[in-house]
Structure 1
Amino acid sequence: MAEVETKQEIKAATEPEKKAATETKADSMVGEIWIDVDIKASAGKFHHMFAKRPHHVSNATPRHIGGVELHEGEWDKVGSIVLWNYIHEGKPKVAKDRIEAVDPEKNLIKFRVLEGDVLKEYRTFLITLQVTPKQGGPGSVARWHLEYERIDDKVAHPETLLPFLESMSKEIDEHLLSTE
């Protein structure tokens, strides 16, 4: 599980194996949280799954994603609207997202949540996936970065999404490797 730390504490940390963090104070309404997931697939292949083929994500990880539908636009185009049916903490949930950014050269895609379960607890929610090749070896690192604003201080920071994103990424990675 990610730790709640200030930005200064994170910058001062010298733990290269640190894979997740929250960049906010525990009492702040606005926050950022991220997790790095080591994968064996290439950065381009993993990014391609979310940018151009998100409707195939449910085939790769049915435990986490029940289905993905394109409501407006095209899969990898800014402004397109995507509906995600997912299972978080054993409960079916929905998120309607707008693609905010796509950068194939950086293997980056951003989704802003417009409607759905997550907005019951957060005013704003932005999800960024950036996949980078590992330095000095095969495989990649998928970084999931979440930026959010809680609706009130009784709402927890979304740390429970980190194991969800990690597990989902690992299953997608296995699927991508099995289809080579």
Structure 2
Amino acid sequence: MEKVAIDDKNKSATYKTIEGTVLNMFKSFKICLEVTPRDEGSVPHWTLEYEKLNANVEDPKAMLHGLVDTCTDVDAHLTQQANTQSSPQL
């Protein structure tokens, strides 16, 4: 379960884990997303903030890869949707 904070002004969201299996490995775990608008589209910037329970816990690289995969999927969907809307109807 996460506690979510949305900041519309700064185009950001913070997800703080407050319970669940992630806390079996980490004392604290937070994911921050900040979106920077560009001329066309936007650029997401993800930050993972965490404190390991001990030195044997690996860095959460798989989670970071998952976030990148999600952004890639969303980009492909939005691009396809934009291309469909700009195509002339026959």
By the TM > 0.5 criterion, same fold? yes
Q: TM-score range by the shorter chain?
A: 0.7 to 0.9
| Unpaired stretches in structure 2, ≥5 consecutive residues | 83-90
Shift of 1:131: 0.6
Corresponding residue number in structure 2 for 1:120: 24
1: CA distance between counterparts of 2:41 and 2:2? 28
SS in 2 for 1:98: strand
- Partners of 1:149 and 1:118 in 2: CA distance: 11
Q: Secondary structure at the match of 1:125?
A: strand
State the Cα deviation string for residues 13-61 of structure 1 (Å, max 9, x = none). xxxxxxxxxxxxxxxxxxxxxxxxxxxxxxxxxxxxxxxxxxxxxxxxx
1:105 pairs with 2:48:
no
The structure whose Rg is larger is 2
Name the residue aligned to 2:34. Answer: 130
| Aligned pairs (5 A) from 1:16-31 | none
- Aligned partner of 1:157 in structure 2 is 59
Higher helix share: 2
Task: Write out aligned runs for 1:45-64 (5 A).
Answer: none
The count of residues paired between Structure 1 and Structure 2 equals 82
Structure 1: runs of 5+ lacking an equivalent: 1-95
Distance in 2 (CA, whole Å) between partners of 1:173 and 1:104 is 21
Match of 2:71 in 1: 169
Q: Give 1:179 deviation, angstroms.
A: 3.5
CA RMSD of aligned residues (A): 1.6
TM norm structure 1: 0.42
Q: What's the offset of the Cα at 1:116? A: 1.8
The alignment's TM-score, normalised by the length of structure 2, stands at 0.79
DSSP 3-state at the match of 1:110: strand
Q: How far does residue 138 in structure 1 lie from its aligned partner after superposition?
A: 2.1
- Kindly state the Cα deviation for residue 177 of structure 1 after the two structures are TM-superposed: 3.1
> Secondary structure of the residue that 2:56 maps to in structure 1?
coil
The residue type equivalent to 1:124 in the other structure is S
